[in-house]
Chain A
């Protein structure tokens, strides 16, 4: 944080206050009434923003209530209800004193528990601690690589819309390049980095794209390449390295900006492909 001197403004000395819009003057007057004499200039902006947000939320809620009650106009009762609900939700007060005293009386009647000796660090039971892992690693089946290719770029005349397998004996890709970053025109398909040696067998499976997270409603059949070769394939999405010989012409289509939300598609897609692959093999 910068160690610059904070700029406080007295309400009387600043020119902005007296010549600003009416809201600003009103807010400055309110602050003065509540005894706040010194404040940074941006405080007024923050207060005004809060006021605007609060009032619009209240009126929105009030309109909801009045339409629910089938009234033509917003009534003071609607506004009152809206304010009350909002107060209970966000502007809560600490419990009243008599409740606190009652709770305290009950808690304090229980004698202090004896200490279990010599158990090392005294910690609550495990489920109240943050010491255990809160995740579970999913076991992997077989390392597979799927490379999805924009359908418009690859011309397969025999692509059909539903699941049909097309096998190519001789893949057009003679050498799998280390990393391919691809994105389809719809922008929802992501890339996978591959590292293989030799010429793997490429099976092309086309499928309709049925990812539920897809924002566009266009359904395009996406051919899927599967490389069923032994060597360990490191799988890391979004390695944006363009190599010189990508057979799949996608250099123009490397759009990484849209891939931020599409990374979530990967597990979805992968899971589906995994399943389908099992059914094939």
Chain B
């Protein structure tokens, strides 16, 4: 191409234009001869065509119109093939150039109005599915207007049709409205999403055929172009969905999930529990000898022991490497079982008591609170980059003795764990300093020796709760990290942040082991499945994804939230996932199929915390509306069991909220930041007093 330009340079150096024309015609003459034979043309298309285009571009630049016209006529080149002068070699603009269209800007409004009328006048059965098409077409048209520098029309288009879109798209539309010039498009994150992925719509075959017929009738090329090329239709056989069903899965930034997205098998069962040493107390209580190993597990969940042995849905124990249980861990587990036995059996009639910890003078200071699994420690992250750990049992927090003293202690003594702690500086609260920005989340390890915290400075810090010092600083995210969680088995932890990824780390890896990329907006919360094989993430793009730890694939993609997702929690059996967030609703998903099974709608403000009781009977939720609400989960799961759930049939979403709500407890004006059921089914809540 460069040579062609050089040639045209030499051409221009010829004194008058007519000479130039002759020169070019001779060049073209040679070309024309070859065009008689199709095969020859196909063999030398690229070189000559590029040369031609370069010459044309050159002529256009120097405003040699007559020559240009003649050249065009001779070579029968169409306008479309001409690259525009504004195209640079960067990837961004070349992809953005898909927005280029030669259309008249004024027809966009008309085209959109036509589409609206089409949807409104369609049959009722098709109407709801068709109405999903309006938003992506609106976005596409607006961006085309902006890209082609029709700013006035773009602004008018936005003002006329923007407010008509659904409520949950208004945030995105506002961000789009700030993009009014082509330069804005290059740097905008939302543009990244719209150009790289296609908006997905699920339609039944009937609806799809109807739409195609209508478009053909109208003969509107612009609409046809946009709809055919830039939207992805996932067509399924079956009846068109009604309004409720359509509404249930609407809301995500990029549309709904395709059927293939949720096809992989997910092992949602729990891992087989290892044999535990018998604690001394229980030998007196249980009489039978052989039944002892089996009796331990049923205390927690009577169904589990049988299922764990031959549960087809449980992953094999070695699917991902998990740390071995040490003696201290086994002791801990048997203690947990013993406590669970003594716990209150919750049900519809027996509701848990709630013990609430209020943080005073911290209205804008506390960002997160977390209670350890055995309810002995409470950690809070603050905006001033501090992490404070309190002991909420009478035991105070002790530090380990310094090394010189530790050498002198007897390591073989029975109470070595007690002796190695220094009694002299035992306090109730410990301050951990190290981060450079607000701490957004903390997580205790299952053995309560380690604490993780993540912050706006992009680092995740591991703190030892024996020496109360910062031990490791994990740098991987370069942007704020919104959430971090230890795995229920320890050793692994997951983090998610503003860079739209979630990462899996091990405490002894200085780099992430897995990167889960796929969300289109920042990932707000992350949660491990009880069997540590899967990770669920909730994001600002209003979707929940489930990832497989062993190979990093996204196995479930669940849409339906109408606002950001702030909290996720798995049920104890591992089959259900409850998520809640800015849209004030709790959505319950069935992991096996990826379908939405229930929508619990009673809160009046955004929700920040969810927690299942230890026996899986009650789901507690709390948020900014100062309320803690209890939901009957046994009833819900019983009703779901009765139905026959399979992948293809979308179940009816249960929305009869009132039947599941067990209780609603208001605080004075304390928003609920976290909820935690103790081993004995006492509900602990924490929050900040708003004053």
Complex: A111 Cα to B514 Cα, angstroms: 9
Given contacts A1-B365, A112-B321, contact A94 B499 (CB under 8 A): yes
Interface flag for A198 (CB, 8 Å): no
Per the bound structure, the CA–CA distance linking A121 and B516 in Å amounts to 26
* CB closest chain-B residue, reference A5: B691
Query: Which residues of the other chain, B, contact A108 by a CB distance below 8 angstroms?
Result: 514-515, 551-553
Q: Indicate whether A70 reaches chain B with its CB closer than 8 angstroms.
A: no
Complex: A125 Cα to B511 Cα, angstroms? 12
**A2 and B498 within 8 A (CB):** no
Tell whether, in the assembled complex, residue A103 and residue B513 are in contact, meaning their CB atoms are under 8 Å apart. no
The answer to the question of B66 belonging to the interface, with a C-beta cut-off of 8 Å to chain A, is no
Q: Are B187 and A93 in contact (CB under 8 A)?
A: yes
Q: How far is the CB of B113 from chain A (nearest CB, A)?
A: 26
A245 to B689, CA, bound (A): 59
Q: Is the CB of A97 within 8 A of B515?
A: no
Q: Contacts A3-B360, A97-B520, A129-B471 known; A117 to B552 CB distance under 8 Å? A: no
Interface membership of B501, Cβ < 8 A: yes
Task: Indicate if B464 sits at the interface (CB-CB under 8 A).
Answer: yes
Binary flags per residue of B518-538, CB closer than 8 Å to A gives 1, else 0: 101010000000000000000
Query: Are A114 and B321 neighbours in the complex by a CB distance under 8 Å?
Result: yes
Contact across chains for A97 and B321 when beta carbons are under 8 A apart: no
Kindly state whether residue B376 has any CB partner on chain A within 8 Å: no
A100 and B517 in contact, given A5-B691, A112-B321, A115-B321 (Cβ under 8 angstroms): yes
CB distance from B201 to the nearest CB of A (A): 20
B-contact 0/1 string along A79-99, CB 8 Å cutoff = 000000001000011111110
Residues of B within 8 A of A280 (CB): none
B322 interface residue per 8 A CB criterion: yes
> Is A104 located at the chain interface by the 8 A CB criterion?
yes
Task: Verify if A118 is at the interface (C-beta below 8 Å from B).
Answer: yes
Q: Chain A contacts of B515 at CB under 8 A?
A: 100, 103-104, 107-108
With a 10 A CB-CB cut-off, give which of A1, A125, A129 has the most chain B CB atoms.
A1
Known interface pairs A34-B178, A100-B500, A130-B472; A122-B364 also in contact (CB < 8 Å) = no
Report if A217 contacts B (CB, 8 A).
Answer: no
With both chains docked as a complex, state the minimum distance between the C-beta of B518 and any C-beta of chain A, in angstroms: 7
A107-B552 contact in complex given A3-B363, A93-B187, C-beta closer than 8 Å: yes
Bound CA–CA A108/B517 (angstroms)? 10
B361–A122 touching, CB < 8 Å: no
B320 lies within 8 A of chain A by Cβ: yes
B512 touches A107 (CB 8 A): yes
- Which residue of the partner chain A has the closest CB to B462? A123
Which of B193, B361, B498, B515 counts the most chain A CB atoms within 10 A? B515
In the complex, which residues of chain B have a beta carbon less than 8 angstroms from the beta carbon of A128? 472, 510
Q: Does B450 contact A (CB under 8 A)?
A: yes
Task: Look across to chain B and name the residue whose beta carbon is closest to the beta carbon of A117.
Answer: B324
A265 to B414, CA, bound (A): 55
Whether B509 sits at the interface, judged by CB under 8 Å, is yes
Chain A CB within 10 Å — which of B362, B500, B508, B552 has the most? B508
CA A95 to CA B517, docked complex, whole Å: 11
Q: Are the C-beta atoms of A115 and B510 separated by less than 8 Å?
A: no
Complex Cα–Cα for A97 and B520 (A): 7
- Are A121 and B449 in contact, with the CB atoms below 8 A? yes
A195 to B125, CA, bound (A): 97
Which of B361, B491, B501, B550 has the most chain A CB within a 10 Å cutoff? B501
The answer to whether the Cβ of B215 comes within 8 Å of any Cβ in the partner chain is no
A253 to chain B, nearest CB (A): 39
Q: Is B130 an interface residue (CB 8 A)?
A: no
Does A35 lie at the interface of the complex (its beta carbon under 8 Å from any beta carbon of B)?
yes
Residues of A close to B472: CB separation below 8 A = 123-124, 128-130
Q: Which residue of A lies closest to B319 (CB)?
A: A112
**B192 near A97: Cβ-Cβ < 8 Å:** yes
What does the 1/0 interface line of A107-139 toward B look like (CB < 8 Å)?
110111111111001111100111100000000
Chain A residues whose CB sits within 8 angstroms of the CB of B689 once the complex forms: 3
Chain A residue nearest to B178 in the complex (CB) = A34
* Separation of A158 and B189 alpha carbons in the complex (Å): 76
- Indicate whether A123 sits within 8 Å of B501 (C-beta atoms), given known contacts A1-B361, A35-B174, A108-B514: no
Apart from A1-B365, A98-B196, what 18 extra A-B contacts exist at CB < 8 Å?
A3-B361, A3-B362, A3-B689, A34-B178, A92-B478, A94-B498, A96-B192, A100-B500, A101-B518, A112-B549, A113-B506, A115-B321, A115-B491, A122-B323, A124-B472, A128-B510, A130-B473, A131-B471
Which residues of A does B touch, CB under 8 Å?
1-6, 33-35, 87, 92-98, 100-101, 103-105, 107-108, 110-118, 121-125, 128-131
Sample of 17 A–B contacts (CB below 8 Å): A3-B689, A4-B691, A5-B691, A35-B171, A92-B478, A93-B187, A97-B500, A97-B517, A104-B515, A104-B516, A104-B517, A113-B506, A115-B506, A123-B507, A124-B510, A128-B472, A130-B473
